[in-house]
Structure 1
Amino acid sequence: MSVLVVIPARYASSRYPGKPLVALRGANGVAKTLIRRSWEAAQAVQGVARVVVATDDDRIRLEAESFGAEVVMTSPACANGTERCAEAVANLGGGHDIVVNLQGDAPLTPAWFVEDLVAGLIANPWAELATPVLRCEGAMLAGLIEDRRNDRVGGTTAVFGAGNRGIYFSKEVIPFTGKAYGPGEPTPVFHHVGVYAYRPGTLAAYSGWPVGPLETLEGLEQLRFLENGRSVLCVEVESRGRQFWELNNPSDVPKIEAMMAAMGQD
């Protein structure tokens, strides 16, 4: 199986403009841009044939090319990372069996998350895309519930059925449990991690579908697949003690830098 990793990156983020070019200092104090750290995370994944950065901005292109990344230019009209990945694959002319969307704002994504997704698609021919889910322990679930109580979105949760077939994703905390759990106690709630592995035909079809009511309400791009009857495989992954965090706001920079320092990551 030939695997392509696409890192979608845009400059005009509503919450954090210019985010891919933000510098992050590692354990040794050396600063590297977010897009470079995301590219290095992709390079750590085993079994990948090609890694490309997909962007609509020349500033990001120049930065990516400066450290040797292959860049594919895409339209500013792409509404989300999945649409940008689809356009990048079309521009490249295809030729890969699996396409991975490794978000450009998640430089701490463990390599085994991606490797497990690819293995999941290979082992489950019915699945048209795969995405990782992480079982919440009591402390994390309590934090998600507290965030929603205070009208904050603390993360996305996933519900899946037999064979780990995805049923729904939500910014609400689902399923409802009605009980308290100890800080380290496993719960039936799963946190969704925003990485995707697609079959090329499914990815190509995505941009042609209209945005549905559920995607509009939740603001979650993966719901477009479910709203169009596509089969999503939820792959349960383990953190193995690894810390990870997405960079969405300026306040996330010191969090990620502290995590890198704690892990000794340069």
Structure 2
Amino acid sequence: MSVLLAIPARYASTRYPGKPLATLTGATGEAKSLVQRSWEAACEVKGVDRVVVATDDDRIREAAEGFGAEVVMTSPDCANGTERCAEALDVLGGGFDMVVNLQGDAPLTPHWFVEDLIKGLDDDRSAQVATPVLRCDGAALNGFLEDRRNGRVGGTTAVFAANRHALYFSKEVIPFTGQAFAPADQTPVFHHVGVYAYRPEALSQYRRYTAGILEQLEGLEQLRFLENNAPLLCVEVEAQGREFWELNNPEDVPRIEAMMAKMGMS
């Protein structure tokens, strides 16, 4: 099985313009761009045949080529990372059995999240797409709820059926629990990890779908699959002591840098 890993990166983010070039300082004091740290995380994943940065911006292209990444230029008309991955696959001429989308705002993604994701989609032939989910402990859930109380989008949460196929994703905290959890408690809430694995035919079909009302309201690209009845597998992953967070807003930078320092990440 041949696997392409693409890192979609666009400069014109609505919430955080220039986000891929924002710098994060590691435990040793070295500052690297978000896209470089995401690329370094991608290069640690076993079972991947090719890693590319997919962008429409020359500033990102120059930065990525500067640290040694292969770059695929894509259209500025791509509405989201899934569309950009689909176009990158076309530009490369296809030839892969699976495409992984490691979004360029998740530099703390452990390699085993992606490895488990690839295996999960390979094992479930009924699924067209797969994405990781991480069970929240009480501390993580309380952080999500605090973000929402303060009008911030923290993480995305997921609910899924008994066969692990997704029912819904939301920037609200779902399911509603109505109870307090101690920091170390395991909760029924799952944090959606913004990584995807697609079969090539699913990517091709995605661009033919019309963005539905749920995708537009939530701003979550994966809902386009659900609104068109495409089976999407949720693969539960284990943190193994690693902290995880995505960079969604400028105020997430110190949070992620603190996590990197705690984990000794350079």
| TM bin (shorter chain) | over 0.9
Q: Does 1:223 align with 2:226?
A: no
Structure 2 counterpart of 1:205 = 205
CA separation of 1:195 and 1:259: change in aligned 2, threshold 3 A: same
In structure 2, the residue matched to 1:75 is 75
Gaps of 5+ in 1: none
Q: For residue 244 of structure 1, report the CA deviation from its aligned partner.
A: 2.2
Q: How does 1:75-224 map to 2 (within 5 A)?
A: 75-224=75-224
**Residues of 1 paired with 2:226 and 2:216: CA distance?**
13
Q: Aligned Cα RMSD in Å?
A: 1.3
Aligned to 1:16: 16
Q: Distance in 1 between matches of 2:91 and 2:36?
A: 22
Identity of aligned residues (%): 72
Secondary structure of 1:37's counterpart equals helix
Residue of structure 2 in register with 1:253 after alignment: 253
Q: 2-side partners of 1:41 and 1:253: how far apart?
A: 17
The SS at the match of 1:95 is coil
CA distance in 2, matches of 1:175, 1:255: 25
User: Runs of 5+ in structure 2 lacking a partner?
Assistant: none
Amino acid at match of 1:227: E
CA gap 1:259/1:147 in 2 versus in 1, 3 angstroms: closer
Secondary structure of 1:20's counterpart equals: helix
Give the match for residue 6 of structure 1: 6
Shift of 1:110: 0.6
Q: Which amino acid aligns with 2:225?
A: F
Deviations 1:3-35 (A, max 9, x none): 110000011112222221222222222222211
CA shift for structure 1 position 63: 1.1
TM-score, normalization by structure 2: 0.96
